[in-house]
Amino acid sequence: MIIVLDIDAATEELERDLHDRGYVVHILKGDDHILLYVMGDTTELESRALNAYDGVKNVLRTKDPYRYVNRSLFADRPLRIGKKPFSEMKPFIIAGPCAVESREQIVKIAEKVASAGAHALRGGAFKPRTSPHAFQGLEREGLMHLRKAADAFDLFAVSEIMDKEDLPFFEEHVDIIQVGARNMQNHDLLKALGKAKKPILLKRGFANTVEEWLLSAEYLIMHGNRDVILCERGIRTFDSATRHTLDLNGMLYAKQITELPVIVDPSHAAGDYRLVEGLSKASIAAGADGLMIEVHNNPFQAFSDGAQSLKPKRFEKLMKAIAVYTE
Ligand code: PEP
Ligand code: MN
């Protein structure tokens, strides 16, 4: 890390504090500035806090703020979903309704997505709805319907957790535990999921930077769970033409920093089923490790996110369309 100070700044206090914290500091005096080159693990140092010292003009990080996500984590123990190596299932396709609405609904959709070639069945049972008046999910009963439907068609089950108290139930009944965009920075939840015995699908918050997203993954790994899959799902921008804006830059940028798999959810990004196939092709062509797609047998009647849900036939078409990029 390099700290840039005014030429007449008193550096003693800053130097002493850095030494006390175990850092080695080299000083360079130029014509206009003083530079402090700070050596050691600077991930714990907050740039903002350093700005409080007298005369500090700028703080430049020369290293990533990560200790885990930028390492090779899977060399000795490749990521597995259930018993299957993740690498053998790329692109990993998760498909299913926004929410589990009934046993019949999830079974019907499971059959369709399985026959089209999906690996995993999604379905929210605990729904993080913007309005408290909207359908909140079938909760534990819904999760059991999801599990049974997934098992019937040899699919993995993926569902979103909102409360750490539900973790034992999720560990028992799903194969991948999803953290939704709204909970990406729920650090208490992340710490609890660090102890989970199942892989975590960490969605990016729609108002979060890539760095914040990766630092949330860092929480999971630091607290014991390195089985993390990242999911870009669109961010909020000035343009309200679509629900969100799919940030393929962010997906690719994340992939440059980490070896964790990064998948894309074009359904929540677009909010419109007509854009989902194109965004899926773009994501896979660009190198995403998988997709999460909302599929509903009757989108018009869906309890949530019908406008962005594909009918099974369209999902089948999408699967054929992306195969071109992976052969
Ligand atoms: C979801 O996948 O069901 C969901 C609510 O998505 P997000 O958290 O990305 O909004
Ligand atoms: Mn949804």
Q: HEC states along 201-245?
A: EEECCCCCCHHHHHHHHHHHHHCCCCCEEEEECCECCCCCCCCCE
Closest CA to 227 of 67, 79, 66: 79
Q: Which residues contact 254 (CB under 8 A, 6 or more apart)?
A: 210, 213, 214, 230, 232, 260, 262
Q: Could you say which residues of the chain have pLDDT below 70?
A: none
pLDDT of residue 105: 98
Residue 124 in contact with ligand 1 by CB distance below 6 A: yes
List, in order of start, the domains of the chain with CATH numbers.
2-60 (3.30.70.1140), 71-326 (3.20.20.70)
Q: Which token pair is 298?
A: 């009757």
Contact 288, 263 (CB under 8 A): yes
Closest approach atom of ligand 1 to CA 98: 3
Q: Return all residues near 278 (Cβ < 8 A) that are at least 6 apart.
A: none
Give me the half-sphere count of Cα atoms (radius 13 Å) on the Cβ side of residue 317: 10
Distance 82 CA to ligand 2 centre (A): 24
pLDDT over 90, % of the chain: 94
66: Cα separation from own chain's centroid: 16
Ligand 1 close to Cβ of residue 181 (< 6 A): yes
Report the run of H or E that residue 176 belongs to, with start and end. strand 176-179
Q: What pLDDT shows up at residue 76? A: 83
Instruction: State how far the alpha carbon of 142 is from the alpha carbons of 23, 174, 199, 294, in Å.
Output: 52, 12, 20, 17
Per-residue pLDDT tens digits for 174-225: 999 999 999 999 999 999 999 999 999 999 999 999 999 999 999 999 999 9
Ligand closest to 234 (CA) is 1
- The response to whether residue 160 sits with its C-beta less than 6 Å from ligand 1 reads yes
**pLDDT number for residue 1:** 96
Q: Is the CB of 204 under 6 A from ligand 1?
A: no
- Looking at residue 293, its pLDDT comes to 99
Cβ of 268 less than 6 Å from ligand 1: yes
Say how many Å lie between the CA of residue 189 and the centre of ligand 2: 20
> What distance in Å separates the CA atoms of residue 212 and residue 12, rounded to the nearest whole number?
32
* Amino acid at site 206: F
The preferred substitution site among 186, 201, 265, 268 for testing ligand 1, maximizing ligand atoms within 8 Å of CB, is: 268
Q: Which ligand 1 atom lies nearest to the CA of residue 203?
A: 9
- Residue 227 Cβ contacting ligand 1 at under 6 Å: no
Measured in Å, residue 33 CA sits from the centre of ligand 1 at 48
pLDDT of residue 40: 94
Query: How far is C-alpha 193 from the chain's CA centre?
Result: 13
Q: What values do phi and psi take at 122, rounded to 5?
A: -100, 165
Instruction: Dump pLDDT digits (tens) for 64-82.
Output: 899 999 988 777 889 999 9
